[in-house]
């Protein structure tokens, strides 16, 4: 299993230390982040996108259940697996409530080291499966976007060449065949339109699109299209080929978007989009 990032939330310093030590002993290469504040935990999740959250239930200001609710309502964090831990809310009704709110597992205090390891490992494997699934979907969408535009450009080139041939003949039978062929190509061009890709993207990443438009209501259609391709992890070179533009024009457009979003120089545009 590749290195992961685990966020531990507990208002008691001794619990944070104990969980941190247990996790480090079993996952020495993983990054363990700790905080004693659920509100801070939410911000850390948005900024760092941990692969697993282990949170205490009973905390001041914001409980573990409230933290789960906030995480599940945010696009960027809604699929992070959460284990909730408690030494007080331990009966079956509490377990049911935690699972219904969005926790994937539940562990009682005081901790059993092996149990904590086993439940954490299972949750991390779930994260790994989810990330691979999303990567595969994004790869398919990126490939579809590239093929859509390239097919459309190819059809346009073919139509121009056929138009040249059409203008060089007055044979009625040949003209009828050419007209039929042109009509078939027009229908094929429509079938491979960008709208089909856009529909597939909206189906897969609808929450991201809603929040992006809500946060940046002045974003233009062309900027939204570019943001979607960046969100899929496509490089400037691939985006340029997809949109039939130069790499320089893509870079200029990215810079304009960064300025519109007021992003600092060190902030990755792709990561910003994924965190929306």
Which neighbouring-strand residues pair with 31?
5
Q: Highest-confidence range of 53-67, 97-111, 121-135, 159-173, by mean pLDDT?
A: 53-67
Token pair 């859509």 in the structure block, residue? 148
Tell me the per-residue pLDDT of 132-181, one tens digit each, with 9 for 90 and over: 766 667 767 776 676 666 677 777 788 888 888 888 888 888 888 888 88
pLDDT for the residue 219: 93
Mean pLDDT of 32-50: 93
Please report the domains of the chain, with CATH numbers, ordered by start residue.
5-111 (3.40.50.2300), 205-276 (1.10.10.10)
pLDDT for the residue 11: 93
- DSSP string over 23-43: HHHH-TTSEEEEES-HHHHHH
Tell me the per-residue pLDDT of 200-256, one tens digit each, with 9 for 90 and over: 788 778 888 888 999 999 999 889 989 998 988 888 988 887 777 899 999 999 999
- How far is the CA of 48 from the CAs of 7, 18, 85, 96, 229, in angstroms? 9, 22, 22, 29, 22
pLDDT for the residue 128: 78
């Amino acid at each position: 299993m590749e290195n992961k990032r685990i966020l531990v939330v507990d208002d008691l310093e001794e619990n944070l230390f104990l969980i941190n030590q247990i996790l480090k002993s079993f996952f020495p290469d993983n990054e363990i982040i700790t905080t004693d504040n659920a509100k801070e935990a939410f911000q850390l999740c948005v900024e760092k996108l941990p692969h697993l959250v282990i949170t205490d239930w009973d905390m001041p200001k914001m409980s573990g259940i409230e933290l789960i609710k906030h995480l599940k309502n945010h696009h960027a964090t809604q699929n992070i697996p959460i284990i909730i831990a408690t030494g007080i809310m331990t009966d079956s009704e509490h377990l049911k409530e935690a699972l219904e709110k969005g926790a994937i597992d539940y562990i009682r205090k005081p901790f059993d080291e092996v149990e904590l390891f086993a439940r954490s490992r299972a949750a991390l494997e779930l994260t790994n499966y989810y990330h691979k699934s999303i990567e595969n979907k994004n790869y398919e969408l990126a490939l579809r976007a590239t093929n859509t535009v390239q097919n459309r450009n190819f059809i346009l080139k073919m139509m121009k060449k056929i138009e040249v041939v059409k203008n060089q003949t007055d044979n009625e039978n040949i003209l009828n065949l050419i007209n039929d062929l042109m009509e078939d190509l027009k229908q094929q061009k429509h079938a491979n339109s960008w709208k089909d890709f856009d529909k597939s993207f909206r189906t897969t990443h609808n929450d991201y699109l809603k929040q992006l438009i809500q946060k940046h209501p002045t974003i233009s259609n062309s900027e939204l299209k570019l943001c979607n391709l960046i969100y899929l992890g496509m490089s400037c070179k691939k985006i340029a080929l997809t949109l039939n533009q130069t790499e320089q024009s893509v870079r200029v457009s990215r810079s304009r978007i960064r300025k519109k979003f007021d992003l600092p120089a060190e902030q990755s545009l792709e990561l910003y989009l994924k965190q929306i």
